Chain A
Amino acid sequence: MATASAPVPHTGIAGLIRGLQRRPAVGKLLLLAVVAAVLVPIVHARWASGAWPDALTVDLSGPLGSASEWIIDNRDSHPLFLYFFGHISNAVTLSVRAVYLALLAVGWAGVTAAAGLIAWRVAGVRLALTTAVAFLVCGLLGMWVPTMQTLALMVVAVVASVVLGALLGLAAGLSDRMYRALRPVLDTMQVLPAFAYLLPVVLVFGIGVPAAVLATVVYAAPPMARLTALGLRGADEGVMEAVDSLGATARQRLLTARLPLARKELLLGLNQTIMMALSMAVIASVIGAGGLGDRVYQALASVDVGAALAAGIPIVLLAVVLDRTTGAAGERIGASEPDQGALPGGRGWTAAAAVTVVVALAGRFADRLEWPDAWTVAIAEPVNNAVGWMTDHLYTGVPLVGGTADWAGHFTTWVLDPVRDGLQWLPWWSVLLIVAALAWLIGTWRTALTAVLAMAAIGVLGVWKPSLDTLSQVLAAVAVTLVLGVATGIAAARSARVDRMLRPVLDVFQTMPQFVYLIPVVALFGVGRAPAVAAAVVYALPAVVRITAQGLRQVDPGALESARSLGATSGQQLRQVQLPLARSALLLAVNQGVVLVLAVVIIGGLVGGGALGYDVVFGLAQGDLATGLVAGAAIVCLGLMLDRVTQPTERHAKKGA
């Protein structure tokens, strides 16, 4: 990039040309400037307005509205629904119901025992205890039934996602053409905010459990597919050649070599799929998923932080337990150690199953299937009191530092409003130009083209203004995230102590579903745009910190050593060696930060974030699917644009958001 190369003074035209050759970035910008100089006057003469000109919009609400009405009218009669979607819907409802009833029939003791024993088998004693305690806490908080509802939905969704993802991944892993076709789709699906998936499924299936499960499957299957394909394609070529040289058939190759070699990626895929399914299962409460997410949603709607927390804690516990268990399974397999547990292989599983059955039967005979009411701890009340006290004492007027609500207010007034107004004041074509310039400088002309088209699509959809509102929140949140995240990342990379302290915190924060971040920010900042931004910052921060720290730590130690040997101060080392060499990691951090922030800013529509997220929620609440769908499409475009603008030339393996 131009800013990274050393400043060389040039004089005269020859110098300028030489300078251009040396700095392709300047060349790109000049080319863009020429294009702009030709196009802008023409465009400006025809559609002179700051916002996207009406003449260039296509109003989709009419056709979309009639389409949704047609679907609602024909849902019970049209053969497409009767014989296809209807069957899917029924199958999903039935299986969720069946799993739910099974979980209830096993009883709380049985479920806790089963969960603990599974964790013991795949991850060891410590995690088994953690798991059992986590389930008991869910019960204690009076959330046993919602937890089981969420779990039932999760089980069905995860099984479907894994099957679907593995099949797609298998196809993409074995066929190059399939891979080329699927990869961009999967890449794109992974950067889209969860909210964008809700409306299309609601359009077809209506609000309810089937829609929630299907949205979850669509959201959670891509990482499984991606990682399966990646694992299959990444099989050690030397091993595969050796297998070939022994005369293996295609089937033997796949079953005895390629699949086992990809076990690590498959388990990582399972882990990411489960985490994303949980995240989505919670968010899908706005389209009728029920369970824990619904409790949080209802509580947030009435700003009842205590109730939201009571439902939010089980979500976090579920997330941590699921993540650690599947993660430990992956590590154990990767360690290439033969199974040396106390009870190896099949015998251990048999023992676990036997204990589960005994516990479940005991619960049944003791007539203790349901969690006893007497054993619950109502935390909503004390939490609400605490929040009330906080509202009274910390919201505003604290001497010197002000209050949290004051901060939120200031942030809105001094940062969010100016950014939003500035963006909306900019002529629409200049926004497109800026997008093109940024995307082209960081990535390639392809990414620039996609980004500009996506941004233009937003204008065409007629949601230019709310999209820029969302964009302003994203930009503000990303700026804060990057400042905090990179600073923390540098600290973690430079000090092993900071790193050790941060690691468990980051681990927990990275596993939590997006939805639960809304609870504390509402408690602290009330509702509005500032809390949405705060939640986004908190959600995106861990990933940025981690990527930055990792990037800095992976800088070639030889380069660092030679800088030290020349007597560079640690500041010089950081500025002149580490940061430049970690450039690709930093870009990745920006990319991830943007994608993650967008996801939460959109969800922020639930707590007064307004803009596109609100349109989606409004569309769902009012049954006005057209508005919601247009907003959803705009979210897709915005996500695409932001991802492409910040996309470094080569893509790295990423964590599932």
Chain B
Amino acid sequence: MSTTVAAPVATQTPADAPVFSVDGLWKVFGPKAERVPADPELAALSPAELRQRTGCNAAVRDVSFDVRKGEVFVVMGLSGSGKSTLVRCLTRLIEPTYGKIAIEGEDVLGMDKSRLRELRRRRAAMVFQHFGLLPHRSVLDNVAYGLEIQGVGKAERRAKAEEVVAKVGLEGMEQRRPGQLSGGQQQRVGLARALAVDPEVLLFDEPFSALDPLIRRDMQEEVIRLHREEGRTMVFITHDLNEALRLGDRIALMRDGRIVQLGTPEEIVGSPADDYVREFVRDVPREQVMTVRTAMRPAAADEAGHGPAVAPEATVSEAIEAVARSGCPARVMDDGRCVGVVDSEALLEVVAGTGEHGEGQVDEPGRPAAPAPGEGVA
């Protein structure tokens, strides 16, 4: 598809250093863990064989990816897939066994203690699944805690904390204790604490898994809103596919410590890399993830002139609506130019998952997809 569609996308210039660049990362737990990545034979073993042979557990296996500035990078996988270990390796809360991590070009694994502390204090802040709030402090003091650790004066950090508390919608609860808040509110405190230190990148470790479905949705929207307002880079860990599709600009799907597929939501859903991924995304409502760009075909000469117009980034479900209303194929208009058409047949193929559109399409890496109507594209 990429060869046929050359949409100008400008969110990424090659000169930008990625916020996080991870290369060949390993984390092995167990005795003499460092020999596993070093030995190609051991490295090739399956998890069960490795455990049997060495007593080691490889949580992260040879993982490489870049997190670009301003994107929401989702790492998703089932429990035990190593995603939580991976995100902890980024700031060395868990010391990686092998590999390279760079933050804006600076080697993380080579940092000394004070440099690492500086990284954790100002550059990357984390939001945890179980919130990790200090129960004996008020909401305000919890939010200000990161600044307190940095040595910011009391008045200044309180002022900053109040500002962030308002931003996450917790006004009026500043003096409560975490124990008096609901789960959603507690996670807002966790989020506020991370935001208060104004980090370059926010790391989320399954932040909403412990919340009720409705509250989870609220919090996801909160994150989408924050991302839209501030454009902060985010690395988001989740085991919930819908959450990944809603939030992620790009998704890395992990299994047994490896990344089995890395791509936009559309790529993951439209062209699963293997049977595991295919099984994983089987129940996803494809018409809400796939865009018209993947479903369209070149316009015949007589089709370019009439019919409803849709944007290339519009979802298939939007196109279905347009086609159903007008009764004729829709034109895909990009910058006032007709780049193709979608007819009901092509759209139905997407919904049914029978079309060949899925294979090997969109590979412009930086293009943010539009997984959900709410998110929109700049």
Residue of B nearest to A336 (CB): B179
Mask of A444-472 contacts with B, CB within 8 angstroms, 1/0: 00000000000000000000000000000
Is the CB–CB distance between B134 and A257 below 8 Å? Answer: yes
Apart from A246-B145, A246-B197, A247-B119, what 4 extra A-B contacts exist at CB < 8 Å?
A: A238-B129, A242-B128, A245-B128, A338-B175
> For chain B residues 126-148, which have a beta carbon within 8 Å of chain A?
126, 128-138, 145-146, 148
From B93, B117, B136, A260 is in contact (CB under 8 Å) with B136
> For chain B residues 174-209, which have a beta carbon within 8 Å of chain A?
175, 177-180, 190, 193, 197, 203
Is the CB–CB distance between A243 and B135 below 8 Å? Answer: no
Q: A residues within 8 A CB of B149?
A: 243, 246-249, 252, 256
Does chain A have a CB within 8 A of B150? yes
CA distance A246 to B121 in the complex (A): 5
Does chain A have a CB within 8 A of B91? yes
CB B158 to nearest CB in A, in angstroms, measures 16
Mask of B280-307 contacts with A, CB within 8 angstroms, 1/0: 0000000000000000000000000000
Is the CB–CB distance between A241 and B118 below 8 Å? Answer: no
Is the CB–CB distance between A336 and B132 below 8 Å? Answer: no
Number of interface residues of B (CB under 8 A): 36
CA distance A178 to B130 in the complex (A): 30
Is the CB–CB distance between B93 and A247 below 8 Å? Answer: no
Is the CB–CB distance between A261 and B131 below 8 Å? Answer: no
Is the CB–CB distance between B120 and A246 below 8 Å? Answer: yes
Does chain A have a CB within 8 A of B269? no
Q: B residues within 8 A CB of A247?
A: 116-122, 146, 149-150
Q: B residues within 8 A CB of A333?
A: 136
Q: A residues within 8 A CB of B369?
A: none
CB B128 to nearest CB in A, in angstroms, measures 5
Known: A247-B119, A252-B149. A242 touches B132 (CB 8 A): yes
CA distance A256 to B150 in the complex (A): 13
Is the CB–CB distance between B132 and A260 below 8 Å? Answer: no
Residue of B nearest to A260 (CB): B136
Is the CB–CB distance between B135 and A336 below 8 Å? Answer: yes
CA distance A497 to B116 in the complex (A): 59
Does chain B have a CB within 8 A of A263? yes
Is the CB–CB distance between B131 and A256 below 8 Å? Answer: no
CB A385 to nearest CB in B, in angstroms, measures 55
CB A117 to nearest CB in B, in angstroms, measures 25
CB pairs A–B below 8 angstroms (29 shown): A236-B132, A238-B129, A239-B132, A239-B133, A239-B134, A241-B132, A242-B131, A243-B132, A243-B134, A244-B93, A244-B120, A245-B93, A245-B120, A245-B126, A245-B203, A247-B117, A247-B119, A247-B121, A248-B149, A249-B149, A256-B134, A256-B145, A260-B134, A260-B137, A261-B135, A333-B136, A337-B177, A338-B138, A338-B177
Does chain A have a CB within 8 A of B168? no
CB A262 to nearest CB in B, in angstroms, measures 10
Is the CB–CB distance between A241 and B128 below 8 Å? Answer: yes
Q: A residues within 8 A CB of B93?
A: 241, 244-245
Q: B residues within 8 A CB of A249?
A: 117, 149
Is the CB–CB distance between A245 and B125 below 8 Å? Answer: yes
Q: B residues within 8 A CB of A252?
A: 149
Q: A residues within 8 A CB of B126?
A: 242, 245
Q: Which of B129, B132, B145 has the most CB of A within 10 A?
A: B132
Q: A residues within 8 A CB of B116?
A: 247
Residue of A nearest to B124 (CB): A245
Residue of A nearest to B151 (CB): A252
CB B72 to nearest CB in A, in angstroms, measures 19
CB A182 to nearest CB in B, in angstroms, measures 27
Is the CB–CB distance between A261 and B134 below 8 Å? Answer: yes
Q: B residues within 8 A CB of A244?
A: 93, 120
Q: Which of B125, B136, B137 has the most CB of A within 10 A?
A: B136
Residue of B nearest to A333 (CB): B136
CB A227 to nearest CB in B, in angstroms, measures 17
Is the CB–CB distance between A245 and B134 below 8 Å? Answer: no
CA distance A337 to B177 in the complex (A): 7
Known: A247-B121, A256-B148. A238 touches B175 (CB 8 A): no
CB B10 to nearest CB in A, in angstroms, measures 34
Is the CB–CB distance between B136 and A336 below 8 Å? Answer: yes
Q: A residues within 8 A CB of B119?
A: 247
CA distance A261 to B137 in the complex (A): 10
CA distance A245 to B149 in the complex (A): 11
From B125, B129, B178, A246 is in contact (CB under 8 Å) with B125
CA distance A524 to B264 in the complex (A): 85
Closest 7 CB pairs of A and B: A242-B132, A247-B120, A247-B121, A336-B179, A245-B126, A238-B130, A247-B117
CB A341 to nearest CB in B, in angstroms, measures 15
Is the CB–CB distance between B117 and A238 below 8 Å? Answer: no
Residue of B nearest to A239 (CB): B132
Mask of A217-247 contacts with B, CB within 8 angstroms, 1/0: 0000000000000000000101101111111
Is the CB–CB distance between B120 and A261 below 8 Å? Answer: no
CA distance A261 to B125 in the complex (A): 22
Residue of A nearest to B130 (CB): A238
CB A346 to nearest CB in B, in angstroms, measures 17
CA distance A335 to B290 in the complex (A): 51
CB B263 to nearest CB in A, in angstroms, measures 28
CB A268 to nearest CB in B, in angstroms, measures 16
Q: A residues within 8 A CB of B132?
A: 236, 238-239, 241-243, 245
Q: B residues within 8 A CB of A245?
A: 91, 93, 120, 125-126, 128, 132, 203
CA distance A245 to B194 in the complex (A): 10
Q: A residues within 8 A CB of B203?
A: 245
> For chain B residues 309-356, which have a beta carbon within 8 Å of chain A?
none
Q: A residues within 8 A CB of B150?
A: 247
CA distance A248 to B177 in the complex (A): 21
Is the CB–CB distance between B120 and A263 below 8 Å? Answer: no
Q: Which of A238, A245, A249 has the most CB of B within 10 A?
A: A245
Q: B residues within 8 A CB of A243?
A: 132, 134, 145, 149
CA distance A613 to B138 in the complex (A): 54
Q: A residues within 8 A CB of B177?
A: 336-338
> For chain A residues 327-361, which have a beta carbon within 8 Å of chain B?
333, 336-338
CA distance A333 to B125 in the complex (A): 30
CA distance A47 to B71 in the complex (A): 85
CB A260 to nearest CB in B, in angstroms, measures 5
Q: A residues within 8 A CB of B117?
A: 247, 249
> For chain A residues 28-48, which have a beta carbon within 8 Å of chain B?
none
CA distance A267 to B93 in the complex (A): 31
